[in-house]
Amino acid sequence: MRAAVVTNPIDVGSLILEVADDLHGATAIFIGTVRSTNEGREVREIEYTAYEEMAEREMSVILAEAGRAYEGAVLVAEHRIGLLAVGEASIAIAAAHGRRACALDALRYVIDEMKSRVPIWKREVYADGSQSWVDPTRVTAT
Amino acid sequence: MRAAVVTNPIDVGSLILEVADDLHGATAIFIGTVRSTNEGREVREIEYTAYEEMAEREMSVILAEAGRAYEGAVLVAEHRIGLLAVGEASIAIAAAHGRRACALDALRYVIDEMKSRVPIWKREVYADGSQSWVDPTRVTAT
Amino acid sequence: MVGEMLITVRFFASYADSLGLARTQLALDSGARVSDVLASVAQLPGATAIPKIPRVAVNHVFADIDTILQTGDEVAFIPPVAGG
Amino acid sequence: MVGEMLITVRFFASYADSLGLARTQLALDSGARVSDVLASVAQLPGATAIPKIPRVAVNHVFADIDTILQTGDEVAFIPPVAGG
């Protein structure tokens, strides 16, 4: 169970190795990457910022919750901050378990909770040079 | 959408790259690996065999079904056959989509259907040298 | 041989082990169905390992026992699958 | 200064941009609650960007506005999160 806010590129392969275990036959992984468009606008890059101390704490709490809900799950999560280009990974989560349903459910729990609870924000920089903070709670027309 | 029965080790990193797409911000991956124990017996290795022509066809059908159910999903699946050591990957599936719920749901659909429909079998070789075909439909005591 | 057709029959995994056979050919009357293949296979030594209504594929597609066969068809007996 | 305590207040993302401020300190009477911090912050220029009842954390844990503060506590205003 390791949760980290990082500034370097995320190495998904090393996360997979980190949760690998001869007793766990199922590993589920989620990777979130920067998309080239959002709500119809062309995105050039995204700047992620975090309340770092709290973000790592909250991520650890979420992993611990998933570990209790899906007993035996081995979990790791990294969220990258700083300026990310299109296609780069902002988040990666790996979940290993003896049963595939538990690995998949634990993975979904962690990503859903991270999206709603971890104090990390993103500012999209558009092709025209303008930028704006993304607010997922705001209803949009698209 | 590529489905393959392979004999060489599965390269998960290349599957992730294969589904990567600047329009798809969410990638979900499942990896199944050989466990060191099954139903209380110590497993030394597993031999996977396939009805190869049908297995690849059935895997392709499943990917196409998932692509229809979760429109826009980009999917790839590989199943390895032959003699696999503990810890080696027997199956890997990658699903990319613009929405994370769709990537995760498509991934789960593919792994669940592959488990029930693709004509692939495994013979476990135990630490004591004995071996047996695994029949997931047989209820066991454990 | 008017009215006869040749069907390839394939066995895998535990079925192949029990029968000591992975592939054979059967000559059946035209109009024969998968159920006729089952009846022939049931006579083979070691066939008790195969359930009365096994999972069967014709030309790589799952099929039911009423499926009418054509000469050259490949009928496969599919033991409980265990991939993944 | 008997009865006074020092609280660190932090702002992030759109809140920090609107206030032009990422971190400040407030001196409050002992026994003060998160709601007292909200009242002080509401006086700052640019505070209209912050909702009346924002999401708040005390010492890195989400807290409600009735939470009683201790000297040295860190109160953070959390805009809608957008990680992932």
Tens digit of pLDDT for each residue in D44-63? 999 999 999 999 999 999 99
- For residue B141, pLDDT over 50 is answered with no
> What pLDDT score was predicted for residue A89?
98
Q: Tell me if A49 and D83 make a contact (CB, 8 A cut-off).
A: no
Using only the alpha carbons of chain C, give its radius of gyration.
12
> How far is the C-alpha of A118 from the C-alpha of D62, rounded, in Å?
10
If contacts are CB pairs under 8 Å, which of residues 33-62 in chain A contact chain B?
A: 33-37
Q: Please, is A105 exposed, middle or buried when counting C-beta atoms within 10 Å of its C-beta (0-12, 13-18, 19+)? A: buried
Any chain A CB within 8 A of the CB of D1? Answer: no
Say yes or no: A20 contacts chain B, CB-CB below 8 A.
yes
Does residue B11 register a pLDDT over 70?
yes
- Chain D residue numbers with beta carbons less than 8 Å from the beta carbon of A123 are 13
Q: What percent of chain A has pLDDT over 90?
A: 91
Residues 6+ positions from B73 with CB-CB distance below 8 Å: B66, B67, B95, B96, B97, B102, B103, B106
Mean pLDDT of B106-122: 98
Cβ–Cβ below 8 Å for C14 and B91? no
Q: How many CB pairs under 8 A join A and B?
A: 87
Q: What is the pLDDT of residue D2?
A: 53
Environment class of B82 (CB within 10 Å of its CB; exposed 0-12, middle 13-18, buried 19+): middle
pLDDT in tens, B58-97: 999 999 999 999 999 999 999 999 999 999 999 999 999 9
Q: Do B27 and A20 touch (CB under 8 A)?
A: no
Q: Residue A39's pLDDT is what?
A: 86
Minimal Cβ distance to A25: which of B16, B32, B107: B32
Sorting pLDDT into bands at 50, 70 and 90, what band is B39?
Answer: confident
SS3 of residue D80 by DSSP: coil
User: Quick check: A83 and A142 in contact, CB under 8 A?
Assistant: no
Q: What pLDDT score does B140 carry?
A: 57
User: What parts of chain A have a pLDDT lower than 70?
Assistant: 139-142
Residues B112, A99: contact at Cβ < 8 Å? no
DSSP classification of residue A81: -
Tell me if C19 sits within 8 A of C12, measured CB to CB.
no
Q: What percent of chain B has pLDDT over 70?
A: 97
pLDDT in tens, chain D (84 residues): 556 899 999 999 999 999 999 999 999 999 999 999 999 999 999 999 999 999 999 999 999 999 999 999 999 999 999 999
- Is B44 part of the contact surface with chain C (CB cutoff 8 Å)? no
Residue among A108, A101, A94, A120 nearest A2 (CA): A94
Q: Report the alpha-carbon distance of residue A75 to residue A71 in Å, rounded.
A: 11
A98 to B30: CB separation less than 8 angstroms, yes or no: no
Tokens of C9: 């029959």
Contact yes or no for B34/A25 (Cβ under 8 A): yes
Chains D, C in contact: 3+ Cβ pairs under 8 A? Answer: no
**Any chain D CB within 8 A of the CB of A139?**
no
Contacts of C11 (CB under 8 A, 6+ apart): C19, C21, C22, C23, C76, C77
- Is B24's Cβ below 8 Å from some Cβ in C? no
- Is 0.80 topped by the overall pTM? yes
Considering only alpha carbons, which residue of chain B is nearest residue A94?
A: B29
Q: What is the ipTM for the molecules in this complex?
A: 0.93
Q: How far apart are CA D65 and CA D53, in angstroms?
A: 8
Q: Per-residue confidence at B139, pLDDT binned at 50, 70, 90?
A: low
Chain A residues in contact with B115 (beta carbon < 8 A): 100
Binary contact (B121, C83; C-beta < 8 A): yes
Nearest to B111 among C14, C81, C84 (CB): C84
Question: In this complex, is the C-beta atom of B95 within 8 Å of any C-beta atom belonging to chain A?
Answer: no
